[in-house]
Amino acid sequence: MAQMTVTPWEVRGAIDYDRLIEIFGVKPLTDDLVKLTEKIAGENHLFLRRRVFYAHRDYDVFLKRYTEGGAVALYTGRGPSSRVHLGHLVPWIFTKWLQERLGLELYFQLTDDEKFLYHREYSLEHTNSMAYENLLDLIALGFDPSKTHVIVDSDDIALLYKIAVRVAKKITASVVKSVFGFTDSTNIGMYFFPSLQIAMCFLPSELRREVVLVLIPAAIDQDPYWRVARDIATSLGYPKPAQIHSKFLPGLGPEGKMSSSKPETAIYTTDPPEQVYRKIMNAFTSGQPTAAMQRKLGGNPDRCPVFAYYAMLFEEDDKKLEERYHRCRNGELLCGECKRELAERVAKFIEEHQRRRGKAKDIVESFLLRTKIRSRR
Ligand code: TYM
């Protein structure tokens, strides 16, 4: 089994989520916090009850401030290296639910600069155009334009720069070397970049001219940024940002997260539905090599990406999910059938998403923070 690596740019190996809680120094999401969220939101979310979101920092503080009527907001983002895949939708779907249920403003950052600086092969024109492509996926999920404020780093730097230089002055090269693993051959753009992802935590406070506590829903790979952000926040007069961390939607291969760096194991939102179907039918499963052996020995849903897709996104009903689990374990359910059902559900989801994505083009402007600021002047 490959050794586990989890950084903002690379996730490899079998992921031990409990161990990540220890390594990153975050807290597990407790039953009490899940119940409190349900009470506030007025409904339950499968991401919480199944612990797809499973760890946090100061989520309790965030909820308390929210219930007391204090200023709070949501912040999340995307590094637009290429097309959006299903994994990226996990934090966004949850963010949208929080926006809707709690009536919150969302600040969304597209870091085209980060992906240009990190990937040798990408031009800035490429990552910048991907930013606007990726934005269509965000819009397709149904975020409220009046409450969703998007910035594209290379086009909107004026909005962030004054905060970013103050942030940058607080962070030494030795900190980013140890937190992000940068070396002497890492370009200096990357050394500065974390100050932009961190600055965005404080932008709501600047724009609203009050102390705004942000909650960041994201997968746990982004945690290194928040560790640094929290270390310097108070010295700059801002509250420490809170986080709620998700697990990764796995790729269609034997291990690792769904990742753009492994396109054959990723389902992109813009894949034709037939291709989605084919990719899932070719997916790795935890089943036995033959149907006869599967009937005799059963499969291992705990280590199966196909089962994970049902558990994380494509089976709402807890009872049905449990039945699927047991039918797999005891050899009643064969992998072909399980994959076929999933392929149908995912292809349908993708088709619907593409329909909404097509319409999103007409309303992009209404999500851009720069457009809103200009029209207020
Ligand atoms: P990026 O583009 O790598 O990822 C975008 C968001 O998707 C999450 N993610 C996943 N979640 C579940 N399963 C997966 N397989 C999976 N792969 C990626 C990431 O955790 C992230 O939440 N530097 C950032 C861009 C950014 C950002 C932010 C992200 C700027 N500000 C604030 C989160 C919050 C990036 O490259 O994300």
The answer to the question of residue 149 being in a domain is yes
Ligand 1 midpoint to CA 251 (Å): 15
Q: Could you tell which of 221, 245, 267 is best to mutate to test the pocket of ligand 1, judged by most ligand atoms within 8 Å of the CB?
A: 221
The answer to the question of residue 374 being in a domain is no
Same domain as 341, residue 284: yes
Q: Is 213 in the pocket of ligand 1 (CB under 6 A)?
A: no
Domain containing 227 — which CATH number?
A: 3.40.50.620
Question: Going by CA atoms, what residue is nearest to atom 34 of ligand 1?
Answer: 76
pLDDT of res. 218: 98
Q: Is 218 in the pocket of ligand 1 (CB under 6 A)?
A: yes
Residue 122 token pair: 């990408």
HEC sequence for the chain: CCCCEECCCCEECCCCHHHHHHHHCCEECCHHHHHHHHHHHCCCCHHHHCCCEEEEECHHHHHHHHHCCCCEEEEEEECCCCCCEHHHHHHHHHHHHHHHHHCCCEEEEECHHHHHHHCCCCCHHHHHHHHHHHHHHHHHCCCCHHHEEEEECCCCHHHHHHHHHHHHHCCCHHHHHHHHCCCCCCCHHHHHHHHHHHHHHHHHHHHHCCCCEEEEEEEHHHHHHHHHHHHHHHHHCCCCCEEEEECCCECCCCCCECCCCCHHHCCECCCCHHHHHHHHHCCCCCCCCCHHHHHHHCCCHHHCHHHHHHHHHHCCCHHHHHHHHHHHHCCCCCHHHHHHHHHHHHHHHHHHHHHHHHHHHHHHHHHEHHHHHHHHC
The answer to the question of residue 366 being in a domain is no
Same domain as 193, residue 127: yes
CA distance 79 to 224: 15
CA distance 254 to 303: 8
The answer to the question of residue 273 being in a domain is yes
Same domain as 135, residue 10: yes
Residues of the chain with pLDDT under 70: 1-2
CA distance 3 to 368: 41
Same domain as 340, residue 212: no
Of the residues 196, 224, 252, the one at which a domain ends? 252
Are 106 and 72 spatial neighbours (Cβ–Cβ below 8 Å)? Answer: no
Number of domains the chain contains: 2
The answer to the question of residue 127 being in a domain is yes
Same domain as 159, residue 28: yes
* Distance, CA of 228 to chain centre: 19
The answer to the question of residue 286 being in a domain is yes
Domain containing 325 — which CATH number?
A: 1.10.240.10
Q: Is 257 in the pocket of ligand 1 (CB under 6 A)?
A: yes
pLDDT of res. 286: 81
Same domain as 284, residue 205: no
Same domain as 242, residue 269: no
Same domain as 204, residue 64: yes
Task: Give the pLDDT confidence of 187-220 residue by residue, as tens digits.
Answer: 999 999 999 999 999 999 999 999 999 999 999 9
Q: Could you tell which of 5, 88, 108, 154 is best to mutate to test the pocket of ligand 1, judged by most ligand atoms within 8 Å of the CB?
A: 88
Q: Is 224 in the pocket of ligand 1 (CB under 6 A)?
A: no
Same domain as 293, residue 322: yes
Domain, as residue range, for 199: 5-252
